C-alpha cells in the first residue's frame, strides 16, 4: 500500500468559465490546483472544444466568446496546474479527521481519489426536459445537446430540426445550426411575440448589454433570412412518428401557459425536435457534502447558497457559476474570480482585507450581470401553467424508470402522507434510475406541488447520493483491492492541444 | 374528544403495521410520526426476508448462537404473515419468497452452517444443505469460491419502499388516525391516562389522551421512552446499502454469507441490492454524533461489500453501481427485540430492535394482540422488556 497521494490546495470540479477563472486566481497566488472535468478538453459547455486533431481557425467566432476564449488560452498555458480531464467526479466528502476533502472520481473505468484542502464545485447546469406525449421518442433532444454535437464534432443532429421552448438560448443554437448548413424547420416560443419583444422596453439593458442583444438580433435576422418560420404562443402538444419523431404538433397557449382550445393546433414535419424550456443548477455534488441550497424558481431550482466570496455553508467548500443560480457564462467567470479569492483566504495565502479589496470590482460587475440575468430569467420564465398544459395525464416523467404522470398522481392520491419529494421518489421510483433524478426532479416536484397545493420549496430536493454517476463495480473493487481507495496516487495529464 | 386507546409513536413499518392491526381489532389508534412515514430504516433497509439465523447471530460462538435461536419461532410466525400479506393489504409489496441461500466459502463457514442447521431444525425451520452439483443446479450464478450453502425455501425479499405505506393505508381504512409531520413533544400521566403534547405542521391537536402508548420509534426508541421517564437502551447504528443498475433476471434468491457481511437480492425491476451490515459513519456536531443528518458513506466499505457480492455472484462485476445510501438501525444490547410492556402498570409498550423489517409485521401483530387482549398466541417472554427492570424499577412511576 502506498500513500503518496498529493493533497492539493484546491480541487476544481468543472473546467468552464468559473473553474478556469478560479484556477487562474489561485495559480497566480502559488496554490497547488487540480482541475477535473468530464470533457476531454477544458472550456465547459460554453467553450466546448473539438478534439485537438480537428482544431479550426474560426472556432466560436463572435464578440460574446472573445473574453472567455482569452481566459481559456491563458489557463491552458499555465504550467503549474494539474488537469484530470475525461474524469467524472462521483462524490465530494469531507475528509474524516483530516482537514479538507476527498473527491472520488472515475476516468476510463479507473477509480481515482483526490485529496484537497479546498474544493470548488462549478459543475454547471443541465437542461430541464419537458414532459409531453412523445417526448421520449428518438429524435427528441435538448437544444443544448444539439449544440454539443455541433460544437464538439461538427455534427448537425437532424435533417429538419424544430426548436420548441421558452428560452432565448434556442435562437442561438438555431442560428448556429443554420450557419453550419443545417435546415431549421421552425422555432416555437411559448411566450407571445409581444413578451419576447418587451425587452425593448428596458433601454438601459440595451445599452449595458448591447453585445448580447446584437447577437440575439443577428440570430433572428439570420433565421428570418433563411426563411425559418417563427411561432409565438405555441407549446409542444405531441411528437408523433412511427419509430422516431416525424411530425411535431403545436398547441396554442395563452400568456399563462393554458391551452387555447379554440385556436387550431399546428403540425410541422421535422425529424429532430430540440427543446429549450429551462435549465437546472447541477448542485447535487455540493449538496452531497451537505452544502445548503435554496429554491429558485427562475434560476435553476435548488441552487447552492454561499458567502460573498462564494463559500458554501460547508467551510472550505466553494461554489460558483450556474450551481449558484443559472446566470450565464459572464457571471460564472466573475463568480470564479471571487471563489478563487475566497479559497486563497481559506488557504491563508491572502488576508480577508486584501481579498475584499480585490473582490470589489468583481462584485460590482457581478451585481450588474446578475441584474441582467434576472431580467432575462423573468423574460424566459416558463408561463405558470405551461408544463402542466404540455404534460397531459399520462406522459413519462421519469424516463429512467418509466414512471408516468398517472403513476405519480395515483401515488399522491392514494398516500396522503407522502409530503416530500424524497418520499415520492421512494414510493414511485421516479428519480431512482441512471440519471439520479436530475432529469425528472423538476417535473415530478412541480406535479406534486400542483396536486398537493404546496410550494416546491416545501417539498425539498431529492437526496443527493453517491455516486453522482453510475460507476463500474469492477473498477471500484480493483481500486479497493489495493486497499488504498482513499490514498491512491493519481496520474495527471496536461491537456492535449 | 381526542381520547384514544393507543398512541403509537413512530411511522415506520412497525408503527404503521401496529396501527393497522390495533385498529382492525376495534381500538382507537393515534399514530404520530415526526418526519414522513417510512423515511428512516423502514424505507432504507435491504428488504430481506431472512428466516435462517443471520451471520451476526452465529458468529460469536455456540452459546450465544443458542441464545439467538430463541428468535426462530418468531421467524416462523413472520414467514407465515409475509406469505399472505399482499392479499391481506390488497397491495403489491414486491414480496418474493423463492428461497434463500446462506453461502459458505471456507471450511469454517461450512461447519458454521451445519451447526446452524442443527439449531434451526430444533425449531422446525427446514433448512437444507446444498453442495456440488445440487448447489450449482439450484443457483448457477454462484461463483466458484462457494463451497456449500444452506437453503431455506421460504426466504426471499419484499420492497421496503412499499410495505409501510400499504400498512398506513390499511390502518387509515380501519379507522386509525395516522399523522406524519406530528411529533410527540411530551408525555405525562395522570388519572390513569397518558397525555401527549403534539407539535409539528400536521399535528391535528395540541394534546391528545391515550390509555396506552406503543413505542415503535426504531433507532430512536430510547429517546421516545425517556418521554415516559423510562429507559430503553437502543443503540443507533449507521449502515450502508448499494444498488446496481438493472440486470437481466439471474438471482431469484436472497443470498447471504455465513462468515461475512453480505446480503444480496435482485429486485423485480432487475436492480441488484447489496448490503449485509457494513457500517457508515455518523456525522458529528460539536464532537458528538448528529443523528439528524444522514450518516456518511465509507468508501472502503463499499469496495469490500461489492467484492463479497462479486465473489458470491461474479455477474455483479459486470454491473454498474447506481447508488449507495446510508441509514440508521436500532440495535439492542443483546440483539433481541423488545416486545411487550416496558411498564405494565402504566401501559407503556415497546416493539423495537432485532430484524425490524423481516419481523416487523410479526411484532405488530403480536403487540396488537397483547394490547387488545392482554396475552399473545406466541410465547414472546424471551423478548420481554422486563429484562430491563433492573433499571426501570427505579424509573417507574416517575412519569
Compare CB distances from B180 to A419, A472, A486 and report the shortest one's residue.
A419
Query: Does the complex come out with an ipTM higher than 0.90?
Result: no
If residue A295 lies in a helix (H) or strand (E), which one and from where to where? Answer: strand A293-296
Task: Indicate if A32 and A113 belong to the same structural domain.
Answer: yes
Strands B254-257 and B263-266: antiparallel
The CATH number given to whatever domain includes residue A168 is: 3.50.50.60
User: Which regions in chain A score pLDDT beneath 50?
Assistant: 1-4, 483-497
pLDDT for position A486: 38
Compare CB distances from B297 to A429, A466, A486 and report the shortest one's residue.
A466
Dig out the grid coordinates for A249 from the structure.
404538433
Task: Indicate if A404 and A436 belong to the same structural domain.
Answer: yes
Task: Indicate if A142 and A271 belong to the same structural domain.
Answer: yes
Write down the mean pLDDT value for chain B.
Answer: 92
Q: Does A463 touch chain B (CB under 8 A)?
A: yes
Residue A479: inside a domain:
no
Task: Give me the helix-helix angle, B356-373 and B13-24, nearest 10°.
Answer: 30
The CATH number given to whatever domain includes residue A392 is: 1.10.10.1100
A357, A377, A397 - which closes a domain:
A377
Provide the shortest C-alpha distance from residue A73 to chain B (in Å): 36
- Cβ burial of A478 (10 Å; 0-12, 13-18, 19+) is middle
Compare CB distances from A465 to B309, B317, B325 and report the shortest one's residue.
B325
* Tens of pLDDT, residues A411-470: 999 998 898 999 999 999 999 999 999 999 999 999 999 999 999 999 999 999 999 999
Long-range contacts for A126-129 (Cβ within 8 Å, ≥24 apart)? Answer: A126/A279, A126/A280, A126/A282, A126/A438, A126/A439, A127/A275, A127/A276, A127/A277, A127/A278, A127/A279, A127/A280, A128/A277, A128/A278, A128/A279, A128/A280, A128/A439, A128/A442, A128/A443, A129/A275, A129/A277, A129/A399, A129/A439, A129/A443
Q: Does A353 touch chain B (CB under 8 A)?
A: no
- When scoring B323, B324, B325, B326 by the number of chain A Cβ atoms within 10 A, the one with the most, hence best to mutate, is B323
Please give the backbone phi and psi of residue B88, each rounded to the nearest 5 degrees, phi first. Answer: -60, -45
Task: Indicate if A113 and A26 belong to the same structural domain.
Answer: yes
Task: Indicate if A154 and A209 belong to the same structural domain.
Answer: yes
pLDDT at B67 over 80: no
Provide the shortest C-alpha distance from residue A94 to chain B (in Å): 9
User: Cβ of A474 and B37 within 8 Å?
Assistant: no
Residue A247: inside a domain:
yes
What is the total count of domains within chain A?
A: 3
* Tens of pLDDT, residues B249-279: 999 999 999 999 999 999 988 999 999 999 9
**Searching chain A, which residue's CA lies closest to the CA of residue B274?**
A473
Rounded to whole angstroms, the Cα distance separating B111 from A53 reads 63
Task: Indicate if A271 and A301 belong to the same structural domain.
Answer: no
* Tens of pLDDT, residues A251-306: 999 999 999 999 999 999 999 999 999 999 999 999 999 999 999 999 999 999 99
Residue A302: inside a domain:
yes
Task: Indicate if A361 and A237 belong to the same structural domain.
Answer: no
A354, A377, A400 - which closes a domain:
A377
Residue A493: inside a domain:
no
Q: Does A243 touch chain B (CB under 8 A)?
A: no
Task: Indicate if A37 and A136 belong to the same structural domain.
Answer: no
pLDDT for position A481: 65
Residue A487: inside a domain:
no
Task: Indicate if A192 and A327 belong to the same structural domain.
Answer: no
pLDDT for position A376: 83
Residue A469: inside a domain:
no
pLDDT band at B73 (very low <50, low <70, confident <90, very high): confident
User: Cβ of B316 and A473 within 8 Å?
Assistant: yes
Which chain B residues touch A416 with a CB distance below 8 Å?
A: 172
Task: Indicate if A296 and A370 belong to the same structural domain.
Answer: yes
A277, A299, A320 - which closes a domain:
A277
Which chain B residues touch A470 with a CB distance below 8 Å?
A: 245, 320-322
**Domain span at A244:** 129-277
Q: Are A492 and A34 in contact (CB under 8 A)?
A: yes
Task: Indicate if A140 and A212 belong to the same structural domain.
Answer: yes
Residue A482: inside a domain:
no
User: Cβ of A423 and B38 within 8 Å?
Assistant: yes
Which chain A residues touch B320 with a CB distance below 8 Å?
A: 470-473
- Return the sign of the alpha-carbon dihedral for residues B311, B312, B316, B321: negative
Task: Indicate if A148 and A50 belong to the same structural domain.
Answer: no
Amino acid at each position: 500500500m502506498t500513500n503518496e497521494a498529493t493533497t492539493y490546495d484546491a480541487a476544481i470540479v468543472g473546467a468552464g468559465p468559473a473553474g478556469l477563472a478560479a484556477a487562474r486566481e489561485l495559480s497566480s497566488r502559488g496554490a497547488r490546483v487540480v482541475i477535473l472535468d468530464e470533457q476531454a478538453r477544458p472550456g465547459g459547455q460554453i467553450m466546448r472544444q473539438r478534439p485537438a486533431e480537428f482544431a479550426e481557425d474560426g472556432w466560436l467566432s463572435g464578440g460574446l466568446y472573445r473574453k472567455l476564449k482569452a481566459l481559456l488560452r491563458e489557463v491552458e498555458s499555465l504550467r503549474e496546474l494539474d488537469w484530470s480531464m475525461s474524469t467524472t467526479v462521483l462524490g465530494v466528502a469531507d475528509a474524516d479527521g483530516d482537514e479538507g476533502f476527498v473527491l472520488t472520481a472515475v476516468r476510463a473505468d479507473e477509480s481515482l481519489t483526490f485529496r484537497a484542502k479546498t474544493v470548488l464545485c462549478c459543475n454547471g447546469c443541465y437542461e430541464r426536459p419537458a414532459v409531453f406525449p412523445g417526448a421520449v421518442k428518438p429524435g427528441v433532444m435538448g437544444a443544448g445537446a444539439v449544440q454539443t454535437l455541433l460544437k464538439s464534432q461538427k455534427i448537425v443532429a437532424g435533417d429538419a430540426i424544430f426548436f420548441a421552448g421558452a428560452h432565448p438560448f434556442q435562437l442561438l443554437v438555431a442560428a448556429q445550426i443554420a450557419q453550419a448548413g443545417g435546415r431549421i424547420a421552425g422555432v416555437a416560443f411559448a411566450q407571445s411575440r409581444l413578451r419576447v419583444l418587451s425587452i425593448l422596453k428596458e433601454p438601459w439593458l440595451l445599452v449595458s448589454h448591447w453585445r448580447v442583444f446584437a447577437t440575439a438580433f443577428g440570430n433572428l435576422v439570420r433565421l428570418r433570412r433563411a426563411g425559418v418560420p417563427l411561432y409565438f404562443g405555441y407549446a409542444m402538444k405531441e411528437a408523433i412518428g412511427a419509430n422516431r419523431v416525424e411530425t411535431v404538433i403545436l398547441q396554442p397557449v395563452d400568456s399563462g401557459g393554458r391551452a387555447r382550445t379554440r385556436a387550431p393546433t399546428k403540425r410541422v414535419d421535422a425529424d429532430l425536435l430540440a427543446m429549450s424550456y429551462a435549465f437546472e443548477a447541477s448542485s447535487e455534488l455540493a449538496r452531497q457534502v451537505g452544502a445548503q441550497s435554496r429554491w429558485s424558481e427562475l434560476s435553476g431550482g435548488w441552487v447552492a447558497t454561499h458567502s460573498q466570496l462564494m463559500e458554501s455553508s460547508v467551510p472550505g467548500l466553494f461554489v460558483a457559476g450556474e450551481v449558484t443560480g443559472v446566470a450565464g457564462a459572464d457571471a460564472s467567470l466573475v463568480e470564479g474570480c471571487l471563489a478563487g479569492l475566497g479559497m486563497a483566504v481559506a488557504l491563508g495565502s491572502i488576508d480577508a482585507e486584501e481579498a475584499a479589496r480585490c473582490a470589489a470590482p468583481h462584485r460590482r460587475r457581478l451585481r450588474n450581470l446578475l441584474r441582467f440575468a434576472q431580467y432575462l430569467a423573468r423574460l424566459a420564465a416558463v408561463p405558470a401553467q405551461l408544463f402542466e398544459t404540455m404534460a397531459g395525464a399520462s406522459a413519462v416523467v421519469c424516463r429512467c424508470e418509466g414512471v408516468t404522470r398517472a403513476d405519480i398522481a395515483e401515488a399522491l392520491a392514494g398516500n396522503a402522507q407522502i409530503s416530500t419529494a424524497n418520499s415520492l421518489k421512494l414510493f414511485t421510483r421516479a428519480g431512482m434510475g441512471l440519471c439520479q433524478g436530475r432529469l425528472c426532479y423538476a417535473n415530478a416536484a412541480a406535479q406534486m406541488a400542483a396536486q398537493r397545493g404546496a410550494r416546491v420549496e416545501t417539498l425539498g430536493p431529492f437526496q443527493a447520493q453517491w455516486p453522482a454517476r453510475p460507476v463500474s463495480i469492477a473498477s471500484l473493487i480493483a481500486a479497493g483491492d489495493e486497499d488504498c481507495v482513499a490514498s491512491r496516487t493519481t496520474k495527471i495529464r496536461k491537456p492535449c492541444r | 374528544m381526542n381520547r384514544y386507546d393507543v398512541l403509537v409513536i413512530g411511522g415506520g413499518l412497525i408503527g404503521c403495521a401496529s396501527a393497522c392491526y390495533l385498529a382492525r381489532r376495534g381500538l382507537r389508534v393515534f399514530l404520530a410520526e415526526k418526519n414522513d412515514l417510512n423515511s428512516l430504516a423502514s424505507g432504507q433497509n435491504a428488504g430481506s426476508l431472512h428466516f435462517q439465523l443471520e451471520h451476526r447471530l452465529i458468529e460469536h460462538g455456540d452459546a450465544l448462537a443458542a441464545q439467538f435461536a430463541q428468535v426462530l419461532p418468531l421467524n416462523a410466525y413472520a414467514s407465515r404473515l409475509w406469505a399472505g400479506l399482499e392479499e391481506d393489504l390488497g397491495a403489491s409489496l414486491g414480496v418474493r419468497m423463492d428461497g434463500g441461500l446462506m453461502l459458505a466459502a471456507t471450511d469454517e463457514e461450512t461447519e458454521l452452517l451445519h451447526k446452524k442447521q442443527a439449531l434451526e431444525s430444533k425449531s422446525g425451520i427446514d433448512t437444507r444443505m446444498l453442495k456440488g452439483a445440487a448447489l450449482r443446479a439450484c443457483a448457477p450464478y454462484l461463483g466458484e469460491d462457494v463451497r456449500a450453502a444452506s437453503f431455506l425455501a421460504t426466504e426471499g425479499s419484499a420492497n421496503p419502499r412499499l410495505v409501510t405505506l400499504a400498512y398506513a393505508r390499511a390502518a387509515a381504512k380501519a379507522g386509525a388516525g395516522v399523522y406524519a409531520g406530528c411529533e410527540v413533544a411530551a408525555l405525562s400521566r395522570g388519572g390513569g391516562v397518558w397525555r401527549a403534547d403534539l407539535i409539528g405542521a400536521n399535528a391535528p391537536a395540541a394534546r391528545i389522551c391515550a390509555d396506552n402508548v406503543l413505542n415503535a420509534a426504531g433507532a430512536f426508541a430510547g429517546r421516545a421512552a425517556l418521554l415516559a421517564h423510562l429507559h430503553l437502551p437502543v443503540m443507533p447504528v449507521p449502515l450502508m446499502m448499494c444498488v446496481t443498475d438493472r440486470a437481466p433476471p439471474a438471482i431469484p434468491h436472497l443470498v447471504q454469507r455465513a462468515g461475512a457481511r453480505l446480503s444480496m437480492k435482485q429486485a423485480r425491476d432487475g436492480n441488484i441490492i447489496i448490503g449485509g451490515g457494513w457500517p457508515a459513519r455518523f456525522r458529528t456536531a460539536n464532537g458528538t454524533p448528529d443523528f439528524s443528518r444522514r450518516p456518511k458513506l465509507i468508501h472502503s466499505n463499499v469496495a469490500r461489500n461489492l467484492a463479497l457480492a462479486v465473489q458470491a455472484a461474479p455477474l455483479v462485476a459486470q454491473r454498474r453501481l447506481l447508488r449507495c445510501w446510508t441509514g440508521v438501525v436500532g440495535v439492542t444490547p443483546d440483539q433481541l427485540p423488545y416486545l411487550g410492556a416496558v411498564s405494565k402498570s402504566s401501559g407503556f409498550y415497546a416493539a423495537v430492535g432485532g430484524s425490524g423489517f423481516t419481523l416487523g409485521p410479526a411484532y405488530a401483530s403480536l403487540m396488537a394482540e397483547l394490547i387488545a387482549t392482554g396475552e399473545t398466541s406466541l410465547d414472546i417472554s424471551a423478548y420481554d422488556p422486563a429484562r430491563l427492570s433492573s433499571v426501570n424499577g427505579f424509573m417507574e412511576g416517575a412519569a
